[in-house]
A and B are shown apart, each in its own frame.
Chain A
Amino acid sequence: MSSETDTTERARPEPIQAVPVRHPGRWVAVAVIGVLVAMFVHLLVTNKAFNWAFMVDEMFRPPIMEGLRGTLALTVLAMVIGVSLGVVVAIMRLSENPILRGVSWAYTWFFRAVPRLVLAILFGNLGILWARIEFGLPFDRQIGALFGVDDFEARLFGFSALEILTGFVAGMLALGLSEAAYMAEIVRAGIQSVDEGQTEAAQALGLSRTQILRRIVLPQAMRVIIPPTGNETIAMLKDTSLVAFVPVSTELFFQLKAVGNRTFQVFPMYVAACLWYLLLTSVLLVGQYYLERHFSKGFGKSAQAKIRLRGITAEAGGSASEAGR
């Protein structure tokens, strides 16, 4: 034993300066990707079919901007219908009442089974079933006949189906009702993710079922509901392009296509559509990042990081390690 180490502090060992492991594979990958990117850029710049000048000139014109507004309105309205109705359907699904459970199951089954495009076109043609949509006593004629009254009518108000159910409203209803079926599943998973003990504690305090749902369970379910809802909103924004076939004219894709058809420059306008949807979707991704951060308050850093990883923002919003506040 040396006497040095007994009396003085041990000398700090010199920092490690090891030779890092080489990754030759990465350099090969970079080279391959570089060549592919160069080819793609070359295509974009040299191929006349892109007709960039024409595209930029056309893609901000007033009819397109009106279509853009229509697309945004359609997205928001369809999601509002989808989320509110989805919460109702989810609550029905979790109810103790077997009738409500059955109705909810049937609703989800139908609207998840039929493709949105088919649904949108179907709704656009519902005017074929009824010329007018009226509200009042159901089966009023039949009831009238029972009591010997011919042509008995008990209707409060009505409107022409052909006016209302064409275009925008048909598209909005098709997208919103279909979305509700998906949202119901998301909300149900969210509600079920909340610990049973939360409901029990609230019951023990004498809160009612609605109060518990509104103040205790749903706010906590939000943590689980928000990330997939963000993804649904982004999907909805893209799916609004389906209603171009209803047809809805106040819609982005319809307007871009119309320009393409009119000018025989179809391809540049499809590229313009890609660029518009890319831009809109990116804005939504940023919004989703902040929403998730808001609803994970009180759940600690690791929980927040986990939520972030589950959502698509893991790719857009940075690494999970910097997810904390």
Chain B
Amino acid sequence: MTQVTTPAGAAGTADDGVMVRAEQVHKSFGSVEVLKGIDLEVRSGEVCCLLGPSGSGKSTFLRCINHLEKINAGRIRVDGELIGYRERGGKLHEMREKEIATQRRAIGMVFQRFNLFPHMTALQNVAEAPVLSGRERKAAARDRAAALLQRVGLGDKLGSYPGQLSGGQQQRVAIARALAMQPKLMLFDEPTSALDPELVGEVLDVMKDLARDGMTMIVVTHEIGFAREVGDSLIFMDDGVVVESGAPREVIANPRHDRTKAFLAKVL
């Protein structure tokens, strides 16, 4: 059953250079409202950094973008396409599982706890999805997986199982795994929060490299340095709402809102 209400003037046009457009996104778990009307726009090729205290709904919002969570109201569009629903005659229709899977393939996701497949080698982790989705033959997928692992600096770890890799190496495999589906958007949920401090740099370097190549990215992070250096926009969330947004340097240097100030004082 769909309970998504139609906000006024929801226009779904692609080709305006906007990769992600969220309008009045609401999400509740039971009676608890976690997202209370999020509006956000990320342009193609942009890196958007999402900051906010723990429990403010950052992960939930990210998971709504690739429909791991169903939203209760509002609209999310990626590359002009409504996520999870089809609009027909002013009504929303739930998509079939297959169609949702197709949409997800265009959106890469990197998790805080890596979530690599522990029973597969690094190479198999990366090559699995392109083969299963029928996109590539095994040999071609393996070649490209090897090249991707090379690109994230793990050309010598193709045959290693996740359990044999350090946290930083695992997260780089996870990035390569997401890239293997050739997504047009990458979502990062605190990709360096589970890492030992000396391993954070190698993962951030890979992400900077991606940003330089023009990948559209939404990054939930507490790495203020990364946000300032790589981010094109910064969004500060608290308690399910966007409190403040703007150019990263601007927001970090002169936060306008008290909650932003308090948060930045803690993480800087």
Contacts and interface: CB of A to CB of B under 8 A. Distances in A.
B102 interface: yes
A32 B116 CA distance: 55
Name, among B104, B162, B174, B177, the residue most crowded by chain A CB atoms within 10 Å (CB to CB).
B104
Given A206-B101, A207-B129, A215-B128, A201 B111 contact: yes
Contacts, number: 71
Interface size of B as a range: 20 to 34
B128 to A, nearest CB: 7
Contacts of A206: 101-105, 129, 133, 181
A209 B105 contact: no
Interface string A200-224: 1111111111010001100110000
B119 interface: yes
A226 to B, nearest CB: 13
Given A197-B115, A198-B117, A204 B68 contact: yes
Interface string A243-284: 000000000000000000000000000000000000000000
A216 B177 CA distance: 14
Contacts of A219: 119
A211 B129 CA distance: 10
Nearest to A295: B119
A164 B98 CA distance: 43
Contacts of A204: 66, 68, 104, 107-109, 178
A202 B117 CA distance: 9
Contacts of B16: none
A207 B132 contact: yes
Q: Is the interface of A mostly helix, strand, loop or mixed?
A: helix
Interface size of A as a range: 20 to 34
B50 to A, nearest CB: 17
Nearest to B181: A205
26 contacts: A198-B115, A198-B117, A200-B68, A200-B111, A202-B129, A203-B68, A203-B104, A204-B66, A204-B178, A205-B104, A205-B105, A205-B129, A206-B133, A207-B129, A207-B133, A208-B97, A209-B97, A215-B128, A220-B117, A220-B119, A297-B161, A298-B120, A298-B162, A298-B163, A299-B118, A299-B119
